[in-house]
Amino acid sequence: MGNGRDTFFWEDCWIGDRPLAAVFPRLAALERNRSCTVADRRGVDGWTWEWQRPLEGRSRTRYDEMMHVLADFCCTEASDGWRWMLGTDDGFTVRETRRWIDDRVLPVGLIQTRWCDLVPRKVNIFIWRMQWQRIPTRMALSGRGLEILTIVCPICGISVENIEHLFGRCEVAASIWGLVFRWLQLPYRSVVEPDDLFRWVDECRMTGNSEESP
How far is Cα 44 from Cα 38, in angstroms, rounded to an integer?
Answer: 12
Nearest to 27 by CA among 63, 61, 70, 54: 63
Give pLDDT, residue 166. 87
CA distance 15 to 20: 8
Q: Residue 139: name the closest of 169, 114, 118 by CA.
A: 169
pTM above 0.85, yes or no: no
**What is the model's pLDDT at position 202?**
72
Residue 93, C-beta contacts closer than 8 angstroms, at least 6 positions apart: 84, 87
Contact 26, 10 (CB under 8 A): no
Dihedral angle, C-alpha 75, 76, 79, 84, nearest 10 °: -70
User: What pLDDT is stored for residue 105 in this prediction?
Assistant: 67
Q: Which pLDDT score, from 0 to 100, does residue 137 have?
A: 92
Q: How far apart are CA 45 and CA 35, in angstroms?
A: 22
- Count CA within 13 A, CB hemisphere, residue 163: 16
Question: What pLDDT does 106 receive?
Answer: 63
Task: Tell me the C-alpha to C-alpha distance, in Å, between residue 139 and each of 76, 77, 161.
Answer: 56, 58, 6
pLDDT of 213 reads: 43
Mean pLDDT by groups of 10 residues along the chain of 214 residues = 84 88 93 91 86 92 92 80 66 76 66 75 87 88 89 90 88 88 82 74 59 46
The reported pLDDT for the residue numbered 214 is: 46
Q: Identify the CA nearest to 138 among candidates 130, 126, 129, 146.
A: 146
Segment 156-161 long-range contacts (CB within 8 Å, at least 24 positions apart) = 161/137
- In sequence order, what DSSP letters do the residues of 97-121 get, joined into one string? HHHHHHHHTS--SSPPPP--TTS-H
